[in-house]
């Protein structure tokens, strides 16, 4: 990857005719949190008004006895109280905390939780002081509409933010100092979360091998001594220092240079490896004891994920049954051979299993692999050929839209795979793993994953591994649902697949 110094004048030229970008650039960044609070307050009021209209004017779901007809003026105090209550709950629950790359589902969940608590508080107050005057059904409508309006608003904000970042607005150009375990952790987070708005220029490391070896699309920029040259060459917005504690003098020097040049600098201490999911805290008489534990989808999390696989897998199987039958017929008519193709892959903790796919190649494809060895476009142990001559006519369509992977639902039901997880590799590919690659084997492989929604076949092997390890360290139901929902448009558009 060749990274060119940023030309700020070029950004100005390409965006001068775009009214949205011009408007955003005129607004002081410090105003955005206040503007968000104001817009949320207005949407809460709107939700309350719409809920009143639904309950008393339209009378959906349940008619109102004329005796209990109430003017909106009687609800004004309740509306103001709800705005105040939700404002405080949103503040203390972290809705307005500025966090780069927060998932939309995570934000909506926080809003929904705070709104539920707020409406329960309001209903309780009304029951105490005016038990017969106010409609509790109206408050329930309001809660639903608040989550709907604010959730939609956050989705629009996310789309606008993504549009702006594609035009260079709000993107931070970053250099990492240190490519050890902590540095790689930061890299895989940046690779997995493009919504963070970071453009990683590259990394520096004093280890001769690390400092000269690119990791996926992340460019090696040499030793830490090159920092001054890198700083002068690129218009850096942020420097993230990921050096071990023994390098405190180097850290101090880097921070001093950044301060002098007006560049924001952040330090990730190597003790961070003991934080988040990898740390348990106990205490003896008030003395904290920190111990490490395995990062894996285990216990109740594993049961929850398995249940999600079975429920959603059944739903997907039923919805895709007609197209599955058509694909099977097309394969039989197109070329001789079986409909399904099976192959040994490596699963969780290195267990071997047989994966199932719709056959997309000629019957003797494996025997002819040497014929196309020179066409391999993948990096690392992977083997990928964009226009593989062994592929059948039907197979080209299946691979383009990932339809050949539908039979993997068999593996999901058998517990060998999950709907979401790392890409299952061949045994000979796993044999070529570096030590840090093996962490991706700690969870079950998936039919889709971060690798599929982040570029798929266009990714290098190291980029794919970085994404997979990020997934194993940050698994949640929300992350799985987000990946599944994002997979749908990626598959329909055939993006990054071949």
DSSP assignments along 343-379, one per residue: EEEE-GGG-EEEEEEE--B-TTTTTTGGGGGGG----
Indicate the helix (H) or strand (E) that contains 447. strand 446-448
Of 27-36, 239-248, 322-331, give the range with the top mean pLDDT. Answer: 322-331
Percent of the chain clearing pLDDT 90 (strictly above):
28
pLDDT score for 476 = 82
Of 24-38, 93-107, 202-216, give the range with the top mean pLDDT. Answer: 202-216
Indicate the helix (H) or strand (E) that contains 239. strand 238-241
Distance CA(490)–CA(135), nearest Å, equals 45
List, by residue range, all CATH 3.40.50.720 domains of the chain.
Answer: 172-274
Distance CA(48)–CA(145), nearest Å, equals 8
CATH annotation of 172-274: 3.40.50.720
Task: Indicate whether 7 pLDDT > 60.
Answer: no
List residues bridging with 202 in a β-sheet.
175, 219
Residue 457's alpha-carbon distances to 79, 91, 343, 379, 393, in angstroms, are 52, 42, 19, 10, 20
Beta strand 352-358 pairing with 418-420: unpaired
Structure-block tokens of residue 3: 């990274």
User: What Rg value do the Cα atoms of the chain yield, rounded?
Assistant: 27
What confidence tens digit (pLDDT) does each residue in 424-438 have?
988 988 888 887 788
Question: 156: which residues sit within 8 A by CB, 6+ positions away?
Answer: none
pLDDT score for 421 = 93
pLDDT score for 312 = 92
pLDDT score for 14 = 45
Altogether, the residues listed in the chain come to a count of: 498
pLDDT score for 252 = 86
Distance CA(198)–CA(190), nearest Å, equals 7
Q: What is the pTM of this model?
A: 0.54
Exposure string (b/e) for 454-492, b if CB count within 10 Å is 16 or more?
bbbbebbbbbbbbbbbbbbbbbeeebbebbbeebeebbe
Give the pLDDT mean for 354-358. Answer: 95
Distance CA(192)–CA(179), nearest Å, equals 17
Task: Indicate whether 333 pLDDT > 80.
Answer: yes
What confidence tens digit (pLDDT) does each residue in 16-48 have?
446 666 665 565 556 777 888 999 999 999 999
pLDDT score for 279 = 53
């Amino acid at each position: 990857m060749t990274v060119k110094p940023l030309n700020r004048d070029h950004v100005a030229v390409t965006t001068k005719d775009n009214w949205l970008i011009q408007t955003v650039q005129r607004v002081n960044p410090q105003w955005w949190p206040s503007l968000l609070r104001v817009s949320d307050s207005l949407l809460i009021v709107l939700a309350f008004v719409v809920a009143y209209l639904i309950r008393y004017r339209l009378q959906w779901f349940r008619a109102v006895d004329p005796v209990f007809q109430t003017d909106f003026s009687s609800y004004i105090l309740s509306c103001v109280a709800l705005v105040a209550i939700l404002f405080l709950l949103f503040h203390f629950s972290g809705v307005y905390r500025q966090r780069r790359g927060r998932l939309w589902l995570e934000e909506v969940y926080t809003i929904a939780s705070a709104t539920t608590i707020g409406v329960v508080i309001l209903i309780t107050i009304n029951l105490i002081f005016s038990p017969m005057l106010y409609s509790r059904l109206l408050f329930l409508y309001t809660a639903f509409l608040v989550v709907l309006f604010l959730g939609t608003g956050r989705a629009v904000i996310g789309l606008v933010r993504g549009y702006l970042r594609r035009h260079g607005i709000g993107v931070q150009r970053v250099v990492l100092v240190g490519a050890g375990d902590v540095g790689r952790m930061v890299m895989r987070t940046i690779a997995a979360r493009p919504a963070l708005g970071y453009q990683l220029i590259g990394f520096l490391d004093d280890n001769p091998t690390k400092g000269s070896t690119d990791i996926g699309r992340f460019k090696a920029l040499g030793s830490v001594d090159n920092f001054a040259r890198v700083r002068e060459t690129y218009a850096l917005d942020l420097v993230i220092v990921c050096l071990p504690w023994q390098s405190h003098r180097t850290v101090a020097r880097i921070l001093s240079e950044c301060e002098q040049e007006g560049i924001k600098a952040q330090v990730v201490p190597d003790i961070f490896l003991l934080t988040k999911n990898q740390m348990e805290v106990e205490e003896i008489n008030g003395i904290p004891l920190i111990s490490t534990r395995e990062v894996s989808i285990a216990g109740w999390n594993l049961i929850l994920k398995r249940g999600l696989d079975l429920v959603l897998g059944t739903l997907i199987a039923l919805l895709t049954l007609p197209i599955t039958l058509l694909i099977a017929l097309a394969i039989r008519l197109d070329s001789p051979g079986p409909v399904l193709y099976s192959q040994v892959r490596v699963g969780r903790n290195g267990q071997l299993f047989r994966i199932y796919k719709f056959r997309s190649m000629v019957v003797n494809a494996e025997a002819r692999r040497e014929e196309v060895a020179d066409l391999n476009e993948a990096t690392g142990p992977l083997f990928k050929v964009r226009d593989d001559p062994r592929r059948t006519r039907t197979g080209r369509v299946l691979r383009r839209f990932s339809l050949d992977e539908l039979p993997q639902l068999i593996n999901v039901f058998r517990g060998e795979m999950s709907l979401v997880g790392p890409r299952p590799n061949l045994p000979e590919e796993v044999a070529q793993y570096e030590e840090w690659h093996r962490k991706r084997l700690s969870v079950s492989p998936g039919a889709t994953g971060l690798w599929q929604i982040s570029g798929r076949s266009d990714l290098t092997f190291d980029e794919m591994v970085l994404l997979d390890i990020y997934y194993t360290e940050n698994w949640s139901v929300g992350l799985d649902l987000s990946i599944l929902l994002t997979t749908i448009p990626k598959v329909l558009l055939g993006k990054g697949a071949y």
